[in-house]
Structure 1
Amino acid sequence: MSVQKLKEFVTLASHRRPKQPSRARVTVLTAAAATAVALSAQSGAYAAPAKPTKDEVKAQVDKLYEEGEQAAERYNGAKERADQLRKQADQLQDQVARGQEQMTELQTGLSAVAAEEYRNGGVDPSVALMLASDPDGYLSKASSADQVNQTQASTLRSLQDQQRRLDQQKAEAASVLAELDRNTKALNDSKTEVQRKLQEAKNLLNQLSAADRAAVLASEDRSSRSNGGGTTTKFDPSTLPQAAGYAGAAMNAAMSKLGRAYVWGATGPNNFDCSGLMVWSYAQAGVSLPRTSQSQASVGTNVGKDIANAQPGDLIIYHSDAHHVGMYIGNGMMVHAPRTGDVVKVARADVMPIKTIRRV
């Protein structure tokens, strides 16, 4: 090849476009890349979630315990109402039974009259009417003196009045029993919720190693003491002011239970929840309190929210929904049953937001 031809060949080769990949090859490569991205995303989506830190577990457990206490107070309220309804239903059913006996006695008396008249030749029309199933109809029909005498009318009116009372008692009993059924469902729902919250808290703690779990529990105990939630080492019962009367008796009763375990739904004498401790302590002083902290928030006299106005024996209701209660013991302190896993202890009275202070 001449030199000139060689130059021309080189020039043409340098201007030739590079060969493009086929459309099929591009499609295959694109699909493979998309598959790789999808697999990467899926592997990320199905990756095991990161375990919560100790601080995250503690925050969640604290929240679950608080929600459990709220549910426990709903349970207490539902149980108190169920007990009231059950007692009311028993009384109504007793009244219905007695009323039915009286009805039977009246009807038996009329039947005896009819039987005697039958043996003597026939039943008087007035007596036949009295034995009818419609006492009101009898009184409207027996309007003439020859159809009814005063004694018969009086007997039937007694029967009529008794039937009305019996019908009313039956209706009241049915209504109370229906409410009891609804209340029992609410009771069971609240109980299930408490148990679920406590199990969730337990499951969270079990996600931690034994060392971390112990550290969380230890930090809760230190936090409780530093925030007034636990019995402080500086606390000296001998420095407390002496309270007189039933308030003093209730305070002494509550203080005698320091160290007893919190058990939701319990009212003593060995275990307590927050409102149960108040109920039991005041009962020792001969004073009856309602069962729940919400109900206790309206007993006695309101003395505001300032601890400076509190006296030993006063009930301190906490949180906007009144789901916790303690008893003031003086020196800015109170005694309470804090929550599941804890015990009856002394705490600073301002450890939680105060809703109201009540003097019983």
Structure 2
Amino acid sequence: MAAHRNHRIHRKPRQRLFTGQAGRTAATLALAGAATATATGPAQGEPRLTPAQIKAQVDTLYAQAETATEQYNGAKVKADEARASLTELRDEAARRTDGLNTSRAELGSIATAQYRSGGLDPAVQLALSSRPEDYLEQAGVAERAGSRQAATVAGIRRELSRIAGLRSRADTQLADLTARRAELARHKSTIQRKIGSAQRLLDELTAEERDRYEGRGGTGRQDGGDPARADRGTPRGTAAAPNARAEAAVAFAYGAIGKPYVWGATGPGSFDCSGLTQAAWRAAGVALPRTTYTQINTGRRVARSELAPGDLVFFYSGISHVGIYVGGGQMIHAPRPGTAVRLAPVDEMPFAGAARPL
């Protein structure tokens, strides 16, 4: 009997099987763990991208970031316009409100004066007056005052209507500004995400591979230029600009060589691609719009065979990049984040068109 009890004490307890909801939960956790292990395993064994594959992906990411940058620039222009319009509407509404308050005060003074002197019927006042002629003269003044009062009331009503209209337009502009700010935030997020992905890919390159990539500007063709040596001493082409304004724009572009690319920047210390061309032509006294896809419609379009120094040269099917032609098949442009304004061949990117500001 004692031996039997001892056997029961040392017997290995049976494992409890989960059933129902508990069983389904346990099974789900087990499958999830297995899936995680499977996903982790092969990821560690994936082959490393080749330098050529990394460069191709980085070029794509930077092109997408530049497209988003131009969209950001366009949205910023519209946001600035909406903000200026809103400020103007609010200022006008405030001025008109001040004028309305003055008219109301004048109307109140007239009403107070009439209240103080208007207790008797006019016929009674005439009968009691010791000088009827004086009373009749005063009555004429009062009538004229009544006409002015009516005009004041009508003016107040018109101002109330105008102010209501101004406030309604201001509300519309505020809604537009809010939408533009949201659009800016979306484009900014896209730009930062694309640039971050490109930087992570570039970190996979060796120092030598990255130097080669940086040397060609990440644009798909070797330009033979080292950004570290792309300074303001770069020799100028021999082609003559067609006029003094184009010459001034080209001179500005040469002076900007070596300044860093920063998306959304228009100078003077940094530029994005359309910011550089806008600043160059601004120095020549010509106002260009802010984005690549609006700059291409500036002035007149020119064929590639007719390019002259100062012309704007555009690239990619989406018109997402621009440079300023300087002659000899060369342009000056701000390539992308991580680079500086530089001299480069026009044929290093897919040519999309050219325009000559007037």
Quote the offset at 1:214 in angstroms.
3.2
> Could you say which residue in structure 2 is the equivalent of 1:217?
211
Name the CA distance, whole Å, in 1 between partners of 2:78 and 2:220: 38
Aligned CA distance change for structure 1 residues 155 and 294 (closer, same or farther; 3 Å):
same
Question: Kindly, what percent of the aligned residue pairs are identical?
Answer: 36
Contact 1:228 1:348 in 2 (8 A): no
Name the CA distance, whole Å, in 2 between partners of 1:260 and 1:41: 50
Name the CA distance, whole Å, in 2 between partners of 1:259 and 1:118: 79
Name the CA distance, whole Å, in 2 between partners of 1:182 and 1:123: 62
Whether 1:283 and 2:277 are equivalent positions in the alignment is no
Name the CA distance, whole Å, in 1 between partners of 2:120 and 2:348: 84
Cα deviation digits, residues 182-213 of structure 1 (max 9, x gap): 000111111111111111112222344xxx24
Whether 1:98 and 2:114 are equivalent positions in the alignment is no
Cα deviation digits, residues 118-168 of structure 1 (max 9, x gap): 2224599xxxxxxxxxxxxxxxxxxxxx9x954333222211221121111
Contact 1:225 1:231 in 2 (8 A): no
Bigger Rg over Cα: 1
Quote the offset at 1:329 in angstroms.
1.1
**Larger deviation: 272-281 or 49-58?**
49-58
Name the CA distance, whole Å, in 1 between partners of 2:49 and 2:260: 29
Which of 169, 174, 187 is the aligned partner of 1:172? 169
Aligned CA distance change for structure 1 residues 183 and 215 (closer, same or farther; 3 Å):
same
> Could you say which residue in structure 1 is the equivalent of 2:104?
107
> Could you say which residue in structure 2 is the equivalent of 1:120?
117
Name the CA distance, whole Å, in 1 between partners of 2:57 and 2:174: 40
Structure 1 unaligned blocks of 5 or more = 1-38, 125-145
Contact 2:292 2:319 in 1 (8 A): yes
Aligned CA distance change for structure 1 residues 68 and 122 (closer, same or farther; 3 Å):
farther
Structure 2 unaligned blocks of 5 or more = 1-32, 122-142
Quote the offset at 1:275 in angstroms.
0.3
**Larger deviation: 237-246 or 164-173?**
237-246
Contact 2:219 2:348 in 1 (8 A): no
Cα deviation digits, residues 29-48 of structure 1 (max 9, x gap): xxxxxxxxxx9998654312
**Larger deviation: 294-303 or 89-98?**
294-303
Quote the offset at 1:75 in angstroms.
1.2
Whether 1:52 and 2:45 are equivalent positions in the alignment is no
Name the CA distance, whole Å, in 1 between partners of 2:58 and 2:293: 24
Aligned CA distance change for structure 1 residues 42 and 313 (closer, same or farther; 3 Å):
closer
> Could you say which residue in structure 2 is the equivalent of 1:88?
85
TM, length-normalised to structure 2:
0.75
The within-5 A match list for 1:21-36 is none
Quote the offset at 1:338 in angstroms.
0.8
Contact 1:205 1:213 in 2 (8 A): no
Q: Give the aligned residue type for 1:195.
A: Q
Aligned CA distance change for structure 1 residues 149 and 331 (closer, same or farther; 3 Å):
same
Aligned CA distance change for structure 1 residues 77 and 120 (closer, same or farther; 3 Å):
same
TM, length-normalised to structure 1:
0.74
Contact 1:302 1:356 in 2 (8 A): yes
Aligned CA distance change for structure 1 residues 230 and 343 (closer, same or farther; 3 Å):
farther
The within-5 A match list for 1:164-203 is 164-203=161-200
